[in-house]
Amino acid sequence: MEKVLTKNIRDDRDPMWLAEYEKAGGWEAYKKAVQEMKPTEVADLVKEAGLRGRGGAGFPTGVKWSFMPRFEENPEKRPAHIYMVANADEMEPGTFKDRLLMEGDPHQFIESMAIASYAIGADIAYVFIRGEYTECQRKLQRAIDEAMEAGYLGSDIFGTGYSLKMYLHMSAGRYICGEESALLSALEGRRAVPRHKPPFPAASGLFGQPTTVNNVETICNVPHIVNNGAQWYKSLGLHKDGGTKIFGASGHVARPGLVELPLGTKLSEVLDYFGGIRGGRELKALLPGGGSTPLLTQEHLNTPMDYEGVGAVGSRLGTATMVVMDDQTPIVGVLKNLEHFYAQESCGWCTPCRDGLPWVERILTNLEAGKGNPGDIELLELHTKLLGPGKTFCAHAPGAMGPLESGLKYFRDELAALIPDDATTPDSTQAANAVSNH
């Protein structure tokens, strides 16, 4: 299998610094882009390649870039700044792929940011990085400093007139910063709350200026597309989606970690790269792409791990970093821990999310403790509807309902068995059932 994103990453994560990276072909794609291509040509190439976002949503990157206003023909109308922002916050439970890329090959990421910035016409780039990622910060800052000294960043780059400044911003840390407009609010020094859309960031983003936000792994694909072309990139995938993907696994696998594989590799084959289920046990369930993705089970082992393949079985590829559970795992504990996390990480902006998620957590806590009540399963089902898509200000609560809804689908009997036979229906449940029936 051809490694693309991780080909320079060593086992000890001692990265290539500038001289070694250049010797391995680094920064050549940036030179090609800035010296030989127009910004729109770079953006069109990425669009043709079909690169999709690797942060969870899977939105086509080139299409996202096409939303940015263009000022090449009317430079007098150009705003004060145009921003490129990398989301390196990586707060999704079970996800640690971007950390590998930033620590193991920082120059690849900085070069990728520079090309992406050129493609959208940005003159300032920010890396919004998780506060705990201090090792990433140290290595990325050294890579930025080396790039500045070499003339890859700064003013009038290669004598073309293009200028780019790049900064690191250490996040205070909130899950909601995975939502791009909340990230921009935090970057401005304000409360991390999602913004009304429209306007979208491409029209009014960071400090009210045109802005694009992309995930770290997404951006790291760009120099390879520039160097090798769109058709080459498409050929890397096994089905419709092109490219490779960094798959991860934690939990009940024999060898937790990360591996780069073609998009579309079957779930069973991905698990084999991590040694299968530890202790010779059977798979019970897994979260295929972080805590907000609906569960998959044994029946899904033949699923191709790409955007359409996972979507076809009712889940999402997400970050493709799996949390794996063996056949001895009580599913109620998994769901309770996830809902606790999402209740805790709610920004509190809208009532359904702020009040509904703690209620879901409380029901699951009581079920786990053997204190469940008749109607609890129906009450959980009601919440999956009341907190679902279109019912809240952003996608935080609907994401939290993904594992709960699938848990009820595949493990309803296991959850219902936790309700004691002598339990009585409380008034709150009767009221909720009345609401549901109404």
Q: Is the pLDDT of residue 226 over 70?
A: yes
Kind and range of the H or E element at 260?
A: strand 257-262
Tell me which residue of 29, 53, 59, 55 sits closest to 42, measured CA to CA: 29
Phi–psi pair at 13, nearest 5 degrees: 60, 20
What tokens were used for 50?
A: 């079909």
Q: What is the mean pLDDT of residues 233-242?
A: 91
Q: What is the pLDDT of residues 50-69, one digit of tens each?
A: 999 998 888 999 999 999 99
Instruction: Report the alpha-carbon distance of residue 279 to residue 18 in Å, rounded.
Output: 44
Q: What is the pLDDT of residues 345-361, one digit of tens each?
A: 998 889 989 999 999 99
DSSP codes joined into one string, 134-197: HHHHHHHHHHHHHHHHHTSSEEEETTTTEEEEEEEEE----GGGGSHHHHHHHHTTS---PPPS
By CB atoms closer than 10 A (0-12, 13-18, 19+), residue 2 is: exposed
Q: What is the pLDDT of residues 71-91, one digit of tens each?
A: 888 888 899 999 999 999 998
What does the pLDDT read at residue 438? Answer: 40
Instruction: Report the alpha-carbon distance of residue 365 to residue 180 in Å, rounded.
Output: 32
Where does the pLDDT of residue 429 fall: very low under 50, low under 70, confident under 90, or very high at 90 and above? low
Q: What is the pLDDT of residues 289-307, one digit of tens each?
A: 989 999 999 999 999 999 9
Pair 121, 80: CB distance under 8 Å: no
DSSP codes joined into one string, 390-413: TSSSSSHHHHHHHHHHHHHHHHHH
Q: What is the mean pLDDT of residues 34-47?
A: 96
Tell me which residue of 414, 203, 421 sits closest to 327, measured CA to CA: 414
> If you average pLDDT over every residue of the chain, what do you get?
93
pTM for the predicted model, two decimal places: 0.92
Q: Is the pLDDT of residue 430 over 60?
A: no
What does the pLDDT read at residue 344? Answer: 93
Q: What is the pLDDT of residues 193-209, one digit of tens each?
A: 999 889 999 999 999 99
Q: Is the pLDDT of residue 136 over 80?
A: yes
